[in-house]
């Protein structure tokens, strides 16, 4: 078999295109394949799909293809330009590559496969012998394709969360479809505008379709939701895990200050007990149980704050909004009399947001959403270790967590 025929077969080049020349460069370890079209080829305008006539050819350009054994393989051709009565002179499509691609379709598919299956982008680059920017380019193209194909849909429950992106308080805002466990939208920073951009991208029907939004008690997100989501105020569900984190942070501050006072009197009762107080009661490891049982009975502020914390957790087990509200009022009365200022202050904050907290009984959602979405985003961060650029990181999140149709 001739080498030109061989490459037509293995590259899937068919009429009106054919391989005109194959050159092997042993020194560079490269195979170069030139492709040209028959003179009587019929062309179609890519803008309207109607037949058009050949106008001229653009300069020769190259596409990286799958390797031939260990040899890097490039396809070279001059892309024809057509003349359409309606659209004027247009670049015509070639069957082996997407528009503006630098890889052939087969190479793009392989790159996507590897990106989805390898632990790091650097590993993909090493296997394929491509540059980091080339891998990113394939990802950008894949996400662009996926977003164009994605049909506008109704998302019933969304979660809004902030993610630290780089050291030094650089954040992004991630909006997820909680039912599908997919990231819908990523914006830079964690401002009003970050979330407003999402709402503004939706149609009135889509906005009306949102039944609830899980989020942290975060002013910028709350305001954007109030202003741009019809009935937004009533649709907010403050995330229970963020609330319990606030509670635990306060409990820990109380323990720290009490431990400081005790240690001045050479009393080490509270030394090395931090995590014992923070664990949910049922999650306390067995080896600590005896010591903790004694600690709880000591006359400690920390022990009282712990009991208040443990009781609050039951708020999310209440059967309905009325029961949850009553439960909270009872808990709040208890805190008011506890004499611990940081706790009293925190409870007051919760009381001001109680409607959005007990909304959980109507819509039992959290920002963690579907199991695994958060850890998936974390692995994107690991995979993309070294992403310093927001656009790249955003693309990577949508590539791995967006449930998009990525292949050409
Ligand atoms: Zn046209």
Percentage of the chain exceeding pLDDT 90: 88
Q: How far is the CA of 44 from the centre of ligand 1 (A)?
A: 8
Q: How far is CA 150 from the centre of its chain?
A: 16
* CA–CA distances in Å: residue 33 to residues 73, 102, 340: 8, 15, 78
Q: How far is the CA of 153 from the centre of ligand 1 (A)?
A: 31
Percentage of the chain exceeding pLDDT 70: 98
The enclosing H or E element of 264 equals: helix 240-264
Burial 178-193 (b: 16+ CB within 10 A, else e): bebbbbbbbbbbbbbe
What are the phi and psi torsion angles at 203 (to 5°)?
-80, 165
- Residue 183 pLDDT exceeds 80: yes
Whole-angstrom distance, CA of residue 352 vs CA of residue 372: 32
Whole-angstrom distance, CA of residue 247 vs CA of residue 14: 67
How confident is the prediction for the chain on average, in pLDDT?
Answer: 94
Token pair, residue 195, equals: 């979330």
Q: How far is the CA of 82 from the centre of ligand 1 (A)?
A: 9
Q: How far is the CA of 84 from the centre of ligand 1 (A)?
A: 5
Q: Give the residue carrying structure tokens 């990577």.
A: 396
Q: How far is the CA of 14 from the centre of ligand 1 (A)?
A: 24
What pLDDT is attached to residue 382?
A: 80
Query: Following DSSP, what letter does each residue of 330-343 receive, concatenated?
Result: HHHHHHHTS--HHH
Q: How far is the CA of 90 from the centre of ligand 1 (A)?
A: 8
Whole-angstrom distance, CA of residue 262 vs CA of residue 254: 12
- Residue 387: pLDDT band (50, 70, 90) is low
Whole-angstrom distance, CA of residue 395 vs CA of residue 373: 16
What pLDDT is attached to residue 381?
A: 82
- Residue 138 pLDDT exceeds 90: yes
Structure pTM? 0.89
- Residue 385 pLDDT exceeds 80: no
Average pLDDT over residues 233-245: 95
Token pair, residue 341, equals: 């200022």
Whole-angstrom distance, CA of residue 93 vs CA of residue 63: 14
Q: How far is the CA of 98 from the centre of ligand 1 (A)?
A: 18
What pLDDT is attached to residue 164?
A: 82
Q: How far is the CA of 79 from the centre of ligand 1 (A)?
A: 17
Q: What is the pLDDT of residues 24-61, one digit of tens each?
A: 999 999 999 999 999 999 999 999 999 999 999 999 99
Q: What is the pLDDT of residues 57-90, one digit of tens each?
A: 999 999 999 999 999 999 999 999 999 999 999 9
Of 136, 143, 78, 365, nearest to 237 (Cα)?
A: 365
Q: How far is the CA of 81 from the centre of ligand 1 (A)?
A: 12
Residue 56 β-bridge partners: 81
- Residue 118: pLDDT band (50, 70, 90) is very high
Question: Is the separation of the CB atoms in 9 and 19 below 8 Å?
Answer: no
Q: How far is the CA of 89 from the centre of ligand 1 (A)?
A: 9
Question: Is the separation of the CB atoms in 18 and 36 below 8 Å?
Answer: yes
Strands 236-238 and 212-215: parallel
What pLDDT is attached to residue 166?
A: 73
Q: How far is the CA of 36 from the centre of ligand 1 (A)?
A: 23
At residue 354, the 3 state secondary structure works out as helix
Of 54, 25, 21, nearest to 35 (Cα)?
A: 21
Q: How far is the CA of 86 from the centre of ligand 1 (A)?
A: 5
- Residue 156: pLDDT band (50, 70, 90) is very high
Q: How far is the CA of 388 from the centre of ligand 1 (A)?
A: 41
Q: How far is the CA of 41 from the centre of ligand 1 (A)?
A: 17
Of 208, 202, 210, 212, nearest to 152 (Cα)?
A: 202
> Which residues are CB-contacts of 246 (< 8 A; sequence separation ≥ 6)?
217, 346, 349
Q: How far is the CA of 48 from the centre of ligand 1 (A)?
A: 4
What pLDDT is attached to residue 2?
A: 85
Q: How far is the CA of 45 from the centre of ligand 1 (A)?
A: 5
């Amino acid at each position: 078999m001739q080498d030109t025929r061989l490459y037509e077969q293995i590259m899937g080049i068919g009429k009106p295109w054919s391989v005109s020349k194959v050159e092997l460069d042993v020194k560079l370890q490269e195979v170069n394949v030139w492709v040209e079209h028959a003179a009587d080829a019929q062309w179609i305008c890519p803008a309207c799909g109607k037949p058009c006539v050949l106008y001229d050819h653009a300069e020769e350009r190259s596409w990286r293809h799958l390797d031939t054994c260990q040899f890097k393989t490039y396809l070279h051709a001059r892309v024809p330009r057509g003349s359409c009565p309606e659209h004027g002179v247009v670049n015509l499509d070639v069957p082996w590559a997407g528009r503006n691609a630098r890889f052939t379709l087969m190479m793009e598919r392989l790159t996507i496969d590897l990106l989805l299956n390898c632990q790091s982008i650097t590993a993909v680059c090493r296997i394929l012998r491509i540059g980091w920017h080339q891998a990113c380019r394939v990802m950008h193209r894949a996400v662009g394709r996926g977003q164009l194909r994605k049909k506008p849909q109704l998302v019933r429950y969304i979660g809004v969360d902030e993610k630290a992106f780089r050291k030094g308080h650089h954040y992004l805002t991630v909006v997820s479809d909680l039912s599908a466990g997919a990231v819908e939208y990523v914006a830079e920073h964690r401002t009003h505008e970050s979330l407003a951009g999402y709402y503004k991208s939706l149609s009135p029907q889509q906005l009306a379709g949102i039944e609830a939004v899980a989020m942290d008690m975060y002013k910028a997100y709350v305001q954007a939701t109030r202003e741009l989501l019809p009935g937004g105020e009533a649709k907010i569900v403050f995330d229970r895990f963020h609330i319990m984190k606030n509670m635990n942070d306060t409990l820990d501050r109380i323990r720290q200050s009490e431990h400081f006072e005790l240690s001045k009197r050479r009393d080490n009762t509270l030394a090395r007990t931090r995590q014992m107080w923070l664990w949910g009661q049922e999650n306390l490891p067995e080896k600590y149980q005896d010591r903790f049982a004694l600690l709880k009975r000591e006359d400690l502020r920390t022990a009282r704050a712990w009991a208040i914390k443990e009781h609050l957790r039951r708020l999310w087990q209440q059967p309905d909004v009325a029961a949850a509200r009553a439960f909270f009022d009872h808990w709040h009365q208890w805190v008011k009399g506890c004499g611990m200022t940081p706790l009293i202050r925190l409870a007051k904050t919760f009381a001001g947001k109680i409607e959005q907290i007990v909304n959980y009984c109507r819509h039992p959602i959290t920002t963690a959403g579907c199991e695994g979405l958060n850890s998936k985003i974390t692995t994107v961060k690991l995979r993309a270790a070294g992403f310093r650029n927001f656009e790249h990181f955003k693309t990577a999140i949508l590539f791995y967590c967006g449930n998009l149709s990525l292949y050409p």
